[in-house]
């Protein structure tokens, strides 16, 4: 997408204001977070259960807005962003791709392959973790990794006696790793850009934090994965290897992403390839793909089922982005950043405020890149004031936003991961809260960031950074 650098000649739009000031602006988000948290604790089955909460939050925001027309416009502008449309299409198309591959027997064949290689329990979970790491690092997209790997690797864990929550948590952990380390990840680009440092140097400096966290997470996931139940272990395993030919479809999609082809183009080509191979190999019939039942007044089939899988997350995404856009239209985030800047009195304190502010921003907006952009200038100016190296600042921002969205149940990564457990055959359907708890890499990053701020770990290796307790001259 090309962005013009020409100055805008339009009249600046005044920030959206609410009755009650900052409290009024944040009230819809408090309602949203509280409602989602309660539903998650009660085992909300999927993102559809969050629709009424978001609708209520948007309504409360409208009632508190001083200019309701401006509020509605901000909401619709947020929903209409090209990136939102890309996400919605990605949910729909990846749902079709995953359903075609599953219905064609690929999952059963992979389960049989895992048993043939004697990968079971923790061994299979570790393998799934590594596969997701490779895919996410190569493509730079955690969402794409979850959508591609989840529907394939999770059901196949039944024949490997893998602990269900540990397996899906490992897949999510591998997706988180790539989002935190890949040079083509949007968070890597945003964090290095706001701190005015090169991407290559930022990624190299980040290895000091990411690799130890990944090693610990891999070991813990492997141990947890070996705690499978007998019911899962006794699942039937296919000995028909014909469906393995369907692997060409996701591999082609991944290959196109590696060559920087558009996500939508890659998914559509993947769907066409999967359908063609399924028909050619005889694992699916045209009737299976789409048919009309007499008297049903509606079409059904694998393709329809795949798109229906994406309805829940698509509506959730639209409503959530609309709510976030109303907060972005205010100056609340700017006020929070200004207050933090006045309270930083040392290098360690400045790093703590950087981590705290970007955490608050991502918890409020539920969008990692938006959070980095909101806090980036504060991190650069305050960090420079205390002699904090640019790579260090960029990595504190990036690693922090790669924790909470992959742990808490109201963020898209955990919701997508939970959605990928539906249609898992002998494997149970998991909630977003459960999947997030088992994301060992994100938890390891939480610890790593805390250790880095408190002890200065990694500072001497991230460039030229002397840890001082007073501003550098």
pLDDT at 120 over 60: yes
What was the pLDDT predicted at 1? 33
Confidence at 462, pLDDT banded by 50, 70, 90: very low
What was the pLDDT predicted at 45? 53
Query: What pLDDT digit, counting tens, does each position of 39-88 carry?
Result: 766 665 566 778 898 999 999 999 999 999 999 999 998 888 776 787 78
What was the pLDDT predicted at 135? 81
Highest mean pLDDT among 121-125, 133-137, 337-341: 121-125
Residues contacting 207, CB < 8 A, separation 6+:
181
Query: What pLDDT digit, counting tens, does each position of 382-406 carry?
Result: 888 888 899 999 999 999 999 999 9
Which residues, in sequence order, are bridge partners of residue 292? Answer: 299
What was the pLDDT predicted at 468? 37
- Burial, 356: exposed, middle or buried (Cβ in 10 Å; 0-12, 13-18, 19+)? middle
Q: Other CB atoms closer than 10 Å to residue 258's CB: what's the count?
A: 14
Residue labelled with tokens 């200038």: 377
Confidence at 338, pLDDT banded by 50, 70, 90: confident
Measured between alpha carbons, how far is 56 from 53 in angstroms, rounded to an integer? 5
pLDDT at 167 over 70: yes
Residue 88 and residue 357 in contact, taking contact as beta carbons nearer than 8 Å: no
CA distances from 401 to 27, 106, 333, 355, 445 (A): 23, 34, 16, 9, 10
Residue 155 and residue 428 in contact, taking contact as beta carbons nearer than 8 Å: no
Comparing 121-125, 134-138, 413-417, the range with the smallest average pLDDT is: 134-138
Q: What is the DSSP string of 349-388?
A: HHHHHHHHHHHHHHHHH--HHHHHHHHHHHHHHHHHHTT-
Two tokens at 331? 């100056």
Query: What pLDDT digit, counting tens, does each position of 345-362 carry?
Result: 788 888 998 999 899 888
Which is more confidently placed, 322 or 336?
322
Model confidence pTM above 0.85: no
**pLDDT, the chain, mean:** 82
Which residues, in sequence order, are bridge partners of residue 246? Answer: none
pLDDT at 465 over 50: no
N-to-C CA span, the chain: 41
Confidence at 295, pLDDT banded by 50, 70, 90: low
CA 256 remoteness from chain centre: 21
How many residues appear in the chain?
473
What was the pLDDT predicted at 471? 40
pLDDT at 464 over 60: no
Q: What is the average pLDDT across 428-457?
A: 93
Query: What pLDDT digit, counting tens, does each position of 299-330 carry?
Result: 788 888 888 877 877 888 788 888 888 887 88
Q: What is the average pLDDT across 438-456?
A: 95
Query: What pLDDT digit, counting tens, does each position of 196-253 carry?
Result: 888 888 888 999 999 999 999 999 999 999 876 544 444 455 567 888 888 888 888 8
Measured between alpha carbons, how far is 181 from 191 in angstroms, rounded to an integer? 12
pLDDT at 193 over 50: yes
CA distances from 281 to 243, 244, 274 (A): 8, 10, 10
Highest mean pLDDT among 89-103, 147-161, 285-299, 441-455: 441-455
What was the pLDDT predicted at 437? 95
pLDDT at 10 over 60: no
What was the pLDDT predicted at 114? 67
Which is more confidently placed, 455 or 46?
455
pLDDT at 11 over 60: no
Q: What is the average pLDDT across 445-470?
A: 70
Query: What pLDDT digit, counting tens, does each position of 27-52 carry?
Result: 998 898 888 777 766 665 566 778 89
Confidence at 423, pLDDT banded by 50, 70, 90: low
């Amino acid at each position: 997408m090309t962005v013009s650098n020409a100055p805008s000649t339009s009249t600046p739009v005044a920030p959206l204001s609410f009755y009650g000031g900052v409290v009024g602006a944040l009230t819809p988000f408090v309602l949203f977070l509280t409602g989602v948290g309660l539903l998650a604790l009660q085992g909300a089955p999927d993102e559809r259960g969050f629709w009424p909460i978001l609708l209520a939050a948007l309504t409360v925001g409208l009632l508190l807005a001083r200019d309701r027309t401006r509020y509605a416009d901000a909401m619709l502008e947020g929903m209409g962003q090209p990136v939102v449309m890309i996400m919605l299409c990605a949910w729909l198309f990846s749902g079709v791709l995953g359903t075609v591959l599953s219905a064609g027997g690929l999952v059963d064949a992979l389960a049989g392959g895992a048993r043939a290689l004697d990968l079971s329990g923790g061994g299979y979970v570790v393998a799934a973790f590594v596969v997701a790491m490779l895919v996410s690092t190569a493509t730079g997209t955690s969402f794409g990794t979850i959508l591609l790997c989840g529907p394939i690797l999770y059901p196949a864990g039944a024949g490997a006696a893998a602990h269900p929550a540990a397996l899906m948590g490992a897949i999510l952990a591998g997706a988180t790793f790539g989002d935190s380390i890949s040079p083509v990840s949007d968070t890597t680009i945003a964090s290095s850009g706001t701190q005015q440092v090169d991407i290559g140097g930022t990624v190299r400096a980040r290895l000091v934090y990411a690799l130890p966290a990944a090693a610990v997470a891999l070991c813990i996931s492997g141990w947890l994965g070996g705690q499978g139940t007998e019911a899962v272990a006794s699942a039937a395993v296919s000995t028909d290897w014909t469906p393995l030919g369907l692997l060409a479809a996701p591999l082609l999609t991944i290959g196109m992403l590696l060559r920087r082809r558009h996500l939508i183009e890659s998914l559509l080509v993947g769907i066409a390839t999967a359908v063609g191979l399924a028909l050619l190999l005889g694992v699916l019939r045209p009737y299976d793909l789409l048919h009309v039942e007499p008297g049903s007044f509606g079409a059904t089939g694998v393709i329809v089922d795949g798109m229906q899988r994406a309805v829940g997350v698509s509506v959730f995404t639209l409503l959530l982005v609309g709510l976030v856009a109303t907060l972005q239209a205010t100056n609340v985030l700017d006020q929070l950043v200004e207050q933090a800047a006045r309270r930083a009195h040392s290098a360690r304190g400045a790093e703590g405020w950087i981590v705290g502010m970007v955490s608050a921003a991502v918890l409020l907006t539920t969008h990692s890149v938006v959070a980095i952009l909101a806090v980036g200038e504060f991190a650069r100016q305050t960090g420079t004031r205390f002699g904090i190296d640019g790579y260090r600042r960029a990595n504190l921002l990036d690693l922090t936003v790669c924790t909470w969205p992959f742990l808490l149940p109201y963020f898209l990564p955990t919701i997508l991961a939970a959605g990928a457990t539906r249609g898992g055959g002998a494997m149970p359907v998991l909630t977003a809260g459960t999947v997030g708890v088992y994301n060992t890499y994100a938890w390891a990053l939480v610890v790593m960031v805390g250790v880095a701020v408190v002890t200065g770990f990694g500072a001497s290796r991230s460039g030229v950074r002397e840890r001082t307790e007073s501003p550098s001259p």
